[in-house]
């Protein structure tokens, strides 16, 4: 287990969908002055770049196939080797599979990573029960006019049905925020991503955080662990 007084700057954020990874990643990014990278974002960037590898990735995605771990890890590698990331980085939702974790592990033994101390030093797991994920995702909506985000329980409008910011009265939900989609994403997380957890636990890198409760309470717990 990690010691509390230590500082961590090469961080993997893990947790089920709806655990608040994205939000906490953004807070950490800002506080530590580090970039947060997510695999999805990097793949999108690659396919839009028009590079040879990007085109190969696009072909795979267009066919509806899973992008092999080596492509994803290559994208991550290219980013982490940029000079501005030598002071650290945050990975959001990567590795998503055990195979990605193993390919990434091999990369960390390469001399560039060792010499620049780029090896992951902390894996933060945000733990939230399924019921909480469902409540959190199914309760969220945004103002159709200005896009302000709300949650019927955690962040309701001050006046029922009226946007605090613009006075709009129409609210929309994301198309994939349905019960069926969330349950299937949770199931997918459990079968595909959860096996990564014991992998990092064995390496002594894993620290679990209770991800329930208000954003600032969770980020305070993370602050103590990360050390800033």
Taking contact as CB under 5 A, which single stretch among the options 18-26, 55-63, 70-78, 162-170 is the one that binds Zn ion? 162-170
For residue 159, the minimal CB distance to Zn ion (Å) is: 12
**Residue 70 annotated to the active site:** no
Site membership for Zn ion, residue 144 (CB under 5 A): no
Toward Zn ion, which CB reaches closer, 145 or 181?
145
**Residue 21 annotated to the active site:** yes
Catalytic pick from 174, 187, 190, 203?
174
For residue 153, the minimal CB distance to Zn ion (Å) is: 19
Instruction: Assign 3-class secondary structure to the chain.
Output: CCCCCCCCCEEEEECCCCCCHHHHHHHHHHHHCCCEEEHHHHHHHHHHHCCHHHHHHHHHHHCCCCCCHHHHHHHHHHHHCCHHHCCCEEEECCCCCHHHHHHHHHHHCCHHHHHCCCCCCEEEEEECCHHHHHHHHHCEEEECCCCCEEECCCECCCECCECCCCCCCCEECCCCCCHHHHHHHHHHHHHHHCCHHHHHHHCCCEEEEECCCCHHHHHHHHHHHHCC
Residues binding Zn ion: number (CB under 5 A): 8
For residue 161, the minimal CB distance to Zn ion (Å) is: 12
Toward Zn ion, which CB reaches closer, 80 or 163?
163
Considering only 69, 163, 196, 206, the residue that binds Zn ion (CB under 5 A) is 163
**Residue 52 annotated to the active site:** no
Q: What angle do CA 15, 17, 23 make, to 5 degrees?
A: 75
Site membership for Zn ion, residue 142 (CB under 5 A): no
Catalytic pick from 10, 75, 77, 96?
96
**Residue 223 annotated to the active site:** no
Which residue is it, tokens 């506080």?
31
**Residue 185 annotated to the active site:** yes
Site membership for Zn ion, residue 108 (CB under 5 A): no
Site membership for Zn ion, residue 159 (CB under 5 A): no
Give catalytic residues, as residue numbers.
21, 96, 140, 174, 185
Binding positions for Zn ion, rule: CB under 5 A: 143, 145-146, 148, 163, 165-166, 168
């Amino acid at each position: 287990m990690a010691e509390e007084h230590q500082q961590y700057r090469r961080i993997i954020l893990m947790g089920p969908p709806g655990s608040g990874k994205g939000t906490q990643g953004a807070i950490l990014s800002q506080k530590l002055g580090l970039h947060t990278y997510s695999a999805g974002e990097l793949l999108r960037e690659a396919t839009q770049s028009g590079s040879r590898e990007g085109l190969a990735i696009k072909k795979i995605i267009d066919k509806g196939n899973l992008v092999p771990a080596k492509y994803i890890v290559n994208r991550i590698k290219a980013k982490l080797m940029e000079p501005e990331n030598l002071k650290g980085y945050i990975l959001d939702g990567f590795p998503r599979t055990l195979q990605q974790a193993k390919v990434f592990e091999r990369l960390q033994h390469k001399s560039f990573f060792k010499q620049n101390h780029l090896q992951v030093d902390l894996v933060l797991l945000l733990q939230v029960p399924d019921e909480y994920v469902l409540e959190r995702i199914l309760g969220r909506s945004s103002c159709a006019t200005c896009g302000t985000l709300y949650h019927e329980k955690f962040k309701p409008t001050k006046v029922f049905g009226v946007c605090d910011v613009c006075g709009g009265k129409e609210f929309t939900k994301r198309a994939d925020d349905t019960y069926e989609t969330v349950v299937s994403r949770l199931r997918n997380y459990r079968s595909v991503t959860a096996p990564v957890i014991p992998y990092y636990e064995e390496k002594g890198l894993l620290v679990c955080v209770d991800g329930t409760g208000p954003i600032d309470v969770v980020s305070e717990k993370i602050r103590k662990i990360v050390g800033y």
